[in-house]
Amino acid sequence: KQEVTQIPAALSVPEGENLVLNCSFTDSAIYNLQWFRQDPGKGLTSLLLIQSSQREQTSGRLNASLDKSSGRSTLYIAASQPGDSATYLCAVRYRSGTYKYIFGTGTRLKVLA
């Protein structure tokens, strides 16, 4: 079964800390993987898209890596700020003849001032 798992489900860190969020997927045959941020009651904001041929993508303080062989992606957030508090979701599009993106349940991040 094609699934996406995110660990931990929740994380609370002091401001300024570097942190890593994890995303695991069950099949290495993927088109791409995308990380999103979601604030309470809002839609999803795209953070980074990694194509299957790429190993990592960077945007500002965010860096996402992709290791298809181990079925893992990590989102690294440098120098965390209270404004980074949100739920972070990853989504995978598998190559199995489907168009859909499968989402994990997210990691709820709280950065304490």
Partner 1 sequence: DTGVSQDPRHKITKRGQNVTFRCDPISEHNRLYWYRQTLGQGPEFLTYFQNEAQLEKSRLLSDRFSAERPKGSFSTLEIQRTEQGDSAMYLCASSLFTMTSGRNTGELFFGEGSRLTVL
Residue ranges binding partner 1 (CB under 8 A): 4, 31-32, 34, 36, 41-46, 49, 51, 53, 89, 91, 93, 98-106
Q: CA-CA distance, 66 to 72, in Å (whole number)?
A: 6
How do strand 56-59 and strand 72-77 relate by DSSP bridges? unpaired
Paired with 14 in beta bridges are 112
**DSSP character at residue 36:** E
- Pick 7 or 79: Cβ nearer partner 1: 7
Tell me how far, at minimum, the Cβ of 15 lies from partner 1, in Å. Answer: 25
* 76 vs 101, beta carbon nearer partner 1: 101
* Cβ proximity to partner 1, 14 vs 60, nearer residue: 60
For 38, phi then psi, to 5°, come to -135, 125
- Least distance (Å) between residue 20 CB and partner 1: 19
Residues 6+ apart with CB under 8 A from 43: none
Q: At its nearest, how many Å lie between partner 1 and the CB of residue 24?
A: 13
